[in-house]
Structure 1
């Protein structure tokens, strides 16, 4: 598909959505045939399809396996090392997109071709026309969107390896975008492209304050990033106001691009504006602070689905519940997927319409409530090819795991997202995002599953052995009340420092003596857990500072028995009860916190290398 065919804006963009969704089945078949036509000569497809260069859709579905990253990783690594892109795709791979998922502690690398940027731009161009149907007049002011790039690497053969958002912000599609009154950002591009996240945050907030009376909408990609910005503002508002008052940028900003861009914004002193902001930020309560600083704002835009839903109460507090939260699109490093056609809906009701021209989509049916079937839950067990359902054949109310095939060389690839069908727009289904497969903890871009947490705890608890202390049980939750949020692990420890047989009495009773474990030992347990967690978590902790130090809360003996009793009293089965490794219940969290003896935090950042 020619990238030029994807350049739609305004009313034309909405017409294209209608056209695509009306013929979703035809578009999907056309997309798959085009992928096979382009990529049929690749080594990967030739391994499974009998005829080299076959375009047979039925043969593809019958012969090509459903895979996870482990099955495609060796091909991707060979290309990263310098072999030809024709291993998996008929087009040159131009970059590797670093997914927030991990393999052996490192980000997954997703292949990307030049045309993928056209598809992403197509989706971005749909957002404002869709919202403008519900919130008119967005061309009469500015958007304060806080966007950030992350440091990138090069693969051994010189391909850029970076996040999908960094790729877009550094692309010609973003840099040379057509001036559009609907997308007039407060943030200068130089501030967005600054690799120093603190300097970038400072300059973007400063620009937002300078334009405070023109801001009609504000947000960030993820809700967590917006809350982090509010926390940053709490710490730095006096510095920001001083810059506005004197018309000069704080000397701590040393990035040349930021200095140049901000000198234009701060062309003259504005003591009146500085006083306005100081009066607002100096109030004892920051409830509704967003509306006070940006009084014309009509909505907040950010991802508030999945793990980001935990931040909705905090956003409601800072906006005093007056601003709707808009979650616009559904995208991943593997493939951009769909849009929210009802942007002003409640965060709990967000559903995305998958656009059939983005890639070829199939779905693994799941059990009730999105639970994994046993044979599907094990990544090493191959999913039966004939179990997959096409895009237009999913059923209302049912749960599925998403599988994608892309032009860039992913074939029947399990993204790991669990979705529920909530409706249809024409012939295209609409999905509610339920969760990432097996993810139990997430604060920012991190995604920690039960297995990773267990491995980390297993390593850390060994530090208790010299003190003859035993970790009886544990659970966890993501604490997002503070900014940045952090992981909390509840530990119940049995102290058995000395077990002495009472031989004089000739019985089997043991005398148990206990000693207090030094606080430094538990602190080292905290850092041991963090050191064992994956690359993305450690980067967020040590480099991005978007996750706070991990906390271990030691609870009284018997706490986990009481937790089990509570769940059984609520209707759980004693025969099937398993300690939840992540707490979702407010009642359970209240019980655990009521039994806390002491709290310990990681004493330093975990090791991380760019």
Structure 2
């Protein structure tokens, strides 16, 4: 099995970020060359030019609403689709590899499994013949995802039939059961968002006795009804009274469920998922379940594309910062109103307030100021507000 060389990934990241201006210029050139034949860009008068100055002069800042008519002509389906292509998949994997490399330097995992509460809904076909699904569905169903997880020694302990199961509740139950079966091998617990991890362990509070019965008897509960899921779980589930008794003792010894995660999974190194922004609301409960296990926030992105990786996993979760990867998109930043008001105060020029703030490049942002992020992605989303 190919193992990811974390120091090589970190070295590549540091080399690239030291030459951000040139990397951004080349990234924009690549994006425009790949999407230059698109009707939208052809109507803006770029005429084959790929330099940042021409791009800023010709291509306006837009939102999803502005691009929606073009997207609808592609998918001929319901609104608010966002294109996802092979380049976006590669940038996703690059983000995963980069943040993993920095995490693994601080919290090394080796030859273990991950308890990942991940779910993949069905992909549908649009009238235009394209596959459509959530951003996470596009990632989890891509063959490169599983290959990357193996290389990062972070492979999900649950079989594909559970991840791709048609019923969320049944998949969640089976994720918990798989985690308990492989409890000694679990080295990290993760999900896309913090609330999914909290919800999973709140569910465990309710069903743990049923899980113990399944483990003791080696027979899956009748609540799991889909044949493909039952068949996959039957290959993992064998009668194990000793494990069932151990889990019962561990849970019975807890005080108000504090430290549940390390008690059940003694070799877990950290808990990982998006924990910033609206997810901060779940940190108190997640810390209660985690005990002394570190919480690490996942990377910064959206359905439109990725922006940055968490390369400082040791900092408190509430203080998480992200490093922009300059080759995964072309980034610009609009100063927030507060910054402009400060500029008026400093210069005494009130005319600044009537001016539309101009986007600045990645190398022009100033420490301590706040900006709205704009990304031009490889999917052809040009100057897209996040």
Assess same fold via TM > 0.5.
yes
Unpaired runs of 5+ in structure 2?
344-353
8 Å CA contact retained: 2:149, 2:155: no
2:60 counterpart (43, 50, 65): 65
1:164 and 2:159 equivalent?
A: no
Q: 1:186 aligns with which of 157, 169, 174?
A: 157
Query: In structure 2, do the counterparts of structure 1 residues 300 and 390 end up closer, same or farther at CA, with 3 Å as the change threshold?
Result: same
1:259 to 201, 225, 230: 230
The separation in 2 between residues aligned to 1:393 and 1:181, in whole angstroms, is 34
Q: Find the aligned partners of 1:355 and 1:31 in 2 and give their Cα distance.
A: 11
Alignment map for 1:166-565 (pairs within 5 Å): 166-177=137-148, 179-180=150-151, 182-266=153-237, 268-282=238-252, 283=254, 285-320=256-291, 322-368=292-338, 387-415=358-386
The answer to whether the 8 Å contact 1:9/1:125 transfers is: no
For residue 347 of structure 2, what is the aligned residue in structure 1? none
Residue 128, structure 1, aligned to residue 100, structure 2: yes
Distance of 2:177 and 2:196 partners within structure 1: 16
Between stretches 199-208 and 170-179, larger displacement belongs to 170-179
**In the superposition, relative to structure 1, how do residues 8 and 317 fare at CA in structure 2: closer, same or farther (>3 Å)?**
closer
Q: CA 1:370–1:339 in 2, change beyond 3 Å: closer, same or farther? A: farther
4+ residue runs of structure 1 moved beyond 4 angstroms?
Answer: 175-178, 383-386
Larger strand share, 1 or 2: 1
The residue aligned with 1:112 is: 84
Conserved? CA contact 2:97–2:152, under 8 Å: no
- Between 1:53-62 and 1:203-212, the stretch displaced more is 53-62
**Cα distance, 1:181 vs. partner?**
6.7
- Displacement of 1:182 in angstroms is 1.9
1:37 aligns with 2:33: yes
Structure with greater Cα Rg: 1
Of 25, 49, 52, which residue of structure 1 is paired with 2:47? 52
Question: Does residue 20 in structure 1 map to residue 12 in structure 2?
Answer: no
1:80-139 Cα deviation digits (max 9, x unpaired): 129xxxxxxxxxxxxxxxxxxxxxxx7621112222212212222223321111113x10
CA contact (8 A) 1:9 1:126 kept: no
8 Å Cα contact 1:328/1:343 also seen in 2: no
> Contact conserved, 1:303 with 1:327, CA < 8 A, in 2?
yes
**Distance of 1:396 and 1:201 partners within structure 2:** 42
Alpha-carbon distance in 2 for matches of 1:10, 1:284: 39
Instruction: Find the aligned partners of 2:288 and 2:99 in 1 and give their Cα distance.
Output: 26
Q: Is the 8 A contact 2:68 2:79 kept in 1?
A: no
Using the alignment, how far apart are the partners of 2:218 and 2:326 within structure 1?
Answer: 50
Residues 238-271 of structure 1 deviation map (CA, whole Å, 9 limit, x = unaligned): 11111100112112212233223211211x3110
CA shift for structure 1 position 386: 7.0
The answer as to whether partners of 1:149 and 1:192 remain within 8 angstroms in 2 is yes
Tell me how far apart the structure 2 counterparts of residues 191 and 78 of structure 1 sit (CA, whole Å). 35
How many pairs are equivalent?
372
Higher helix proportion: 2
Runs (5+) with no aligned partner, structure 1: 1-6, 83-105, 374-382, 416-610
Secondary structure, aligned partner of 1:29: helix
